[in-house]
C-alpha cells in the first residue's frame, strides 16, 4: 500500500509529462486532464477506507471541479493583469499560483456542507467546465507556438511535478479518515499537474497562450467527469476493478473523441 501511494501517481504524472514534452503544451494540457492524481487518490481511498467512502468521495470530487475551474479562470485573469502592469514573469507565475490555490481552497470550503445526489454533482461539475471554457479567451484548437522549457529546466520541473503528486496522494490519503469523504473528494482535483502545465506555458510563452491551454484542459476534463460519475454510481455495485476499468475506458474514449473532433475541425 505504501509503495502504491508513493509510486503510482508520480509515475503517471511522469508519463503524462513525457507525452506533453514530446507533443507540445496542448497535449500536456490534455494529459493533465486525465485522472493521474485524483485517480490514484480514489484508488487508495477504496483500498484503505472502503468502497462506500471512496464512492462518496468521488461524488464530492465532481463538486471539486468547480473550484478547479475557478483556479483556471483566476490564473488566466491574473496573468493578463500582471502583464499589463509589467510584473516580472517569474513573480507573476508565483502570484497567479498562490492566489489561484487560495481561491480553490476558499470555494472548496464553501462547498463542504453541500450534499447533492450524484446526478446533481455531475451537473455542477459539467456546468463549471463548460462555463470555464466559454469565459476563457481563444480557441482550444487554434494554432500556437509549441515552445517548451530547456531540457535542464524541464527535468527540474518534472521532478517537482512528480514530487507534488506523490505528496498530494500521501497527504490526502493519510488524513482521509480525519477529513471524511466530502473534504477528501473536494481536495482530490486540487491542481497539481495542471499547475505545473500552466506555469510552464505562462513562463515560456507568456499569458497570451494561457487561454488556449486552459480552454483545452477544461475541455479534456469532460472525460474526467465520465470517470468520476462511474465511480460515484458504481464502486459498490460493480466492485473496485470493474468500476475503475470502466471509468478509465470512458475517460480515454472521451479523450479520443475530443482529439478526433479537433482533428476534423483543423
**Predicted pLDDT at 199:** 81
> Computed from CA positions of residues 30, 36, 42, 47, in that sequence, does the dihedral angle turn out positive or negative?
positive
Q: What is the pTM of this model?
A: 0.86
Q: What angle do CA 115, 221, 18 make, to 5 degrees?
A: 135
pLDDT in tens, 214-265: 888 888 888 999 999 999 999 999 999 999 999 999 998 988 888 787 767 6
pLDDT at 118 over 90: yes
Instruction: From 45, 57, 5, select the one nearest 170 (Cα to Cα).
Output: 5
pLDDT in tens, 151-198: 665 666 677 777 777 888 888 888 898 999 999 999 999 987 778 778
Contacts of 190 by beta carbon, 8 Å cutoff, 6+ apart: 37, 64, 68, 101, 104, 168
pLDDT at 107 over 50: yes
Is the distance from CB of 200 to CB of 25 less than 8 angstroms?
Answer: yes
**Predicted pLDDT at 56:** 96
pLDDT in tens, 44-55: 999 999 999 999
Is the distance from CB of 223 to CB of 252 less than 8 angstroms?
Answer: yes
Amino acid at each position: 500500500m505504501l509503495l502504491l501511494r508513493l509510486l503510482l501517481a508520480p509515475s503517471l504524472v511522469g508519463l503524462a509529462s513525457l507525452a506533453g514534452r514530446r507533443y507540445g503544451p496542448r497535449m500536456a494540457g490534455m494529459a493533465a486532464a486525465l485522472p493521474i492524481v485524483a485517480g490514484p487518490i480514489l484508488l487508495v481511498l477504496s483500498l484503505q477506507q472502503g468502497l462506500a467512502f471512496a464512492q462518496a468521495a468521488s461524488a464530492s470530487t465532481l463538486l471539486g471541479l468547480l473550484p478547479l475551474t475557478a483556479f483556471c479562470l483566476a490564473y488566466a485573469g491574473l496573468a493578463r493583469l500582471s502583464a499589463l502592469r509589467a510584473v516580472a514573469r517569474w513573480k507573476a507565475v508565483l502570484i497567479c499560483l498562490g492566489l489561484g490555490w487560495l481561491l480553490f481552497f476558499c470555494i472548496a470550503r464553501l462547498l463542504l456542507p453541500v450534499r447533492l445526489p450524484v446526478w446533481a454533482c455531475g451537473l455542477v461539475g459539467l456546468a463549471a467546465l463548460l462555463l470555464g471554457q466559454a469565459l476563457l479567451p481563444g480557441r482550444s484548437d487554434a494554432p500556437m507556438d509549441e515552445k517548451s522549457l530547456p531540457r535542464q529546466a524541464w527535468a527540474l520541473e518534472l521532478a517537482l511535478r512528480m514530487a507534488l503528486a506523490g505528496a498530494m496522494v500521501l497527504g490526502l490519503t493519510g488524513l482521509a479518515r480525519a477529513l471524511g469523504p466530502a473534504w477528501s473528494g473536494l481536495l482530490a482535483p486540487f491542481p497539481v499537474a495542471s499547475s505545473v502545465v500552466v506555469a510552464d506555458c505562462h513562463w515560456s510563452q507568456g499569458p497570451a497562450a494561457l487561454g488556449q491551454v486552459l480552454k483545452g484542459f477544461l475541455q479534456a476534463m469532460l472525460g474526467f467527469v465520465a470517470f468520476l460519475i462511474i465511480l460515484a454510481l458504481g464502486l459498490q455495485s460493480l466492485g473496485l476493478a470493474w468500476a475503475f476499468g470502466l471509468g478509465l475506458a470512458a475517460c480515454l474514449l472521451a479523450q479520443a473523441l475530443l482529439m478526433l473532433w479537433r482533428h476534423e475541425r483543423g
